[in-house]
Chains A and B, each alone.
Chain A
Amino acid sequence: MDFRFSEREEMLRKSVREFAENEIPPKMEAMEKTGDFPAELLKPMADLGIMGVITPPEYGGVGLGYVARTIALEELGRVCGAMPMALQVHHMGCAVINDFGTEEQKKKYLVPLAKGETMGVVAVTDPTGGSDVVGMKTSAELRGDKYILNGRKCFITNSHNSDFWVVIARTAEGAKGLSAFIVEKDFPGAKLGRKENKFGLRGANTGELAFDDCEVPKENLLGQEGGGLAAAIKTISETGRTGMAATALGILTAAYEEAAKFASERPLYGKPIAALQAIQFYIAEIYSQLEICRLLCYRASWLKDNDMRCDNEAALAKYYTCEAAANAAKKAVEIHGSYGIMREYAVQRLLRDAMVTIPAGGTAEIAKVLLARAALAPFKKQK
């Protein structure tokens, strides 16, 4: 067992950190104000390799895998949580097309994603709710050489920033009646709905997609008809949850750094408040959570890179890290005292951002259901 990062991984972290620290802060005020993603950073991030980090080189990516992706997302999230939020969903779009797409679909859709020409989108959630995937109502009916889609998708990350979306819709009854489609935004009947106004992760655009007799060519079916649930679950549980965990890990890292820095500089009774044991206990809790979450996040990504099952580990990393980020950000706000609730200080944003990671990409409750299932499985009596 070796818990150290390789020289390659360390260099990758340094590269992304330098990029993030230089390029993102000048965009953050506008991101907070408008809720829009800074699309002008897509090309530089593609040049760096972030957009195509998990995409194979034959489709324009660098194919470095999930540990590299987690490093990149953590470093971006350390500066601004909205960036990895948007990018991890982009990577979900890349993964689902790479895993289930035909050669033609990969050439047509995966290459522009890796090059940063547009952003990946995976639209699963209906207005009826995201956790009940099988209960979705959005329908797709084969008529001649086209599928006709009707329905709505909501809380879709990158909805308004992409030229095409991977959409899960119902082609028949039951769990095996869901199918995945690549829907271009200019297809007849495809519409953008409203942009949501979130209180955190503001620069990661979230919005609605609407399908009103939307005509999707038959060749844009992604995978087999009826394979939509499997595609959605694989993508959410492996790429989505590791990505959400990495996003929260970046926020948690920032919360630790802000808290420790402020505590070391802020004087009280003639000494920095870090000399007070009450504050030390807060810092110790944040630091412990960060170290635990790093292990969880990188373990899940390492399993994925090594073609091992990682769904439970990814669910654990996602659930635990998102909760830890919110707790750490809350403590960081408290350490800052009244400064912590001022817009000028980053910790208030970290708290808002961390809260948004909790329901995104699978709620904490869904993760707990999965983890309870895994924990009880060895003791389940055979019927």
Chain B
Amino acid sequence: MKRIIVCVKPVPDPKHWGRVSMDPDTMTLRREVIPSIVNPLDKHAIEAGLSVRDSFGGEVVLLSMAPPSAQPLLREGLAMGADRAVLLSDPVFAGSDTLATSLILAAGCRYIGDFDLIFLGNMSIDGSTAQVCSQLAELLGLPNVMHVTGLSWTNEGKVIITRKIENGFSKLVGIPPLVLSVRKELNKPRYVPFTGILAAESKEIRVLSNNDLKIDPSQIGLAGSPTKMAGLEIRRFERKRERLEGSPEEIVRKLMDKIYQIGVI
């Protein structure tokens, strides 16, 4: 194994979702107001990368498109055991939709080069589109397997992939290079050991801008994103309340009528 790239996305910490707000002008999340964490499924992707490296050698490179403030999150992945990280950070990337993001990540993968596997989490908990993995694979001209729940290897270097499908699982055999997006059932991410925290302090986080990637600016960022938010509506849910009066028998009868009416029984 030469090199394994793991894509990592900072997402708003779900513990603070009560404070999440949207920018009415750009119709995007105001990410700066609440703390970020590594997208939970991406930790499973990092674990997958580390496990492959621990068994077959090579290096694990973390790749992220995010503001410079994401560096501590990448440092966390390095503390888990990744070898180095590449952060794609440029104001022209801001507001990118999944296609523009995939374009930027694909450029990052080409910049890193010489990889056998790219791991991603199946989806992020903020957007939940699950589109980036397939788009990235398409842009790189590589096969993509999603919903990966198991990985094993043959003596010939082929990878046997178990993936979750509706009502069961399917098994595929792949030959690297491959793009694999993983589900949480694949593994249990390791905790960050104190020794890893110390080791991460001397690992490299290379920050690249579009000057390094040289992507046509009209294809990235808010302007280059074909997905346009049409509108924003905040739904409010209120519990219906109704007081039933009468004797216990009457109340039960009325209650049963209502249950039948709404079709629960």
* Chain A residues at the B interface, C-beta cutoff of 8 Å: 7-8, 10-12, 14-15, 18-19, 44, 47-50, 53, 62, 64, 68
Contacts and interface: CB of A to CB of B under 8 A. Distances in A.
A50 B72 CA distance: 22
B40 to A, nearest CB: 11
Contacts of B191: 15, 18-19, 44, 47-48
9 contacts: A7-B75, A10-B72, A11-B192, A12-B197, A15-B193, A18-B191, A48-B191, A53-B194, A64-B194
B192 A8 contact: no
B47 interface: no
A48 B195 CA distance: 8
A62 B76 CA distance: 18
A44 B190 CA distance: 10
A14 B192 contact: yes
B72 A8 contact: no
Contact of B197 (A8, A18, A19, A50): A8
A19 B191 CA distance: 7
Given A14-B192, A19-B191, A47-B191, 20 more contacts: A7-B72, A8-B198, A11-B72, A11-B75, A11-B79, A11-B200, A12-B197, A14-B76, A15-B191, A15-B194, A18-B192, A48-B192, A49-B193, A49-B194, A50-B194, A53-B194, A62-B194, A62-B195, A62-B198, A64-B198
A62 to B, nearest CB: 5
Interface in B56-76: 72, 75-76
B201 A8 contact: yes
A15 B200 CA distance: 14
Nearest to A8: B197
B68 to A, nearest CB: 14
B238 to A, nearest CB: 14
Contacts of A48: 191-194
Contacts of B195: 49, 62
A62 B198 CA distance: 9
A11 B194 CA distance: 9
Query: Per DSSP, are chain B's interface residues mostly helix, strand or loop, or mixed?
Result: helix
Interface string B65-98: 0000000100110010000000000000000000
A64 B193 CA distance: 12
A12 B75 contact: no
Contacts of B198: 8, 62, 64
Contacts of B200: 11
Nearest to A64: B194
A74 to B, nearest CB: 15
B48 to A, nearest CB: 18
A133 B79 CA distance: 44
Nearest to A22: B191
Contacts of B193: 15, 47-49
Contacts of B79: 11, 15
Contacts of A14: 76, 192
A62 B199 CA distance: 12
Interface string B183-221: 000000001111101101100000000000000000000
Indicate the member of A10, A15, A53, A62 with the most B CB atoms within 10 Å: A15
Contacts of A12: 194, 197
Contacts of A47: 191, 193
A334 B192 CA distance: 38
Contacts of A64: 194, 198
Nearest to A10: B72
A169 B182 CA distance: 59
Nearest to B71: A7
A44 B193 CA distance: 10
A10 B193 CA distance: 13
A115 to B, nearest CB: 13
A49 B193 CA distance: 6
A44 B194 CA distance: 12
A18 B201 CA distance: 20
B74 to A, nearest CB: 12
A83 to B, nearest CB: 15
Contacts of A7: 72, 75
Contacts of A49: 193-195
B247 to A, nearest CB: 30
Indicate the member of B191, B194, B197 with the most A CB atoms within 10 Å: B194
A11 to B, nearest CB: 5
Contacts of B75: 7, 11
Sort A-B residue pairs by CB-CB distance and give the 9 closest, nearest first.
Answer: A49-B194, A15-B192, A62-B194, A19-B191, A11-B197, A48-B193, A48-B191, A49-B193, A62-B195
Nearest to A19: B191
Nearest to B76: A11
B193 to A, nearest CB: 5
Contacts of B192: 11, 14-15, 18, 48
Contacts of A62: 194-195, 198
B79 to A, nearest CB: 6
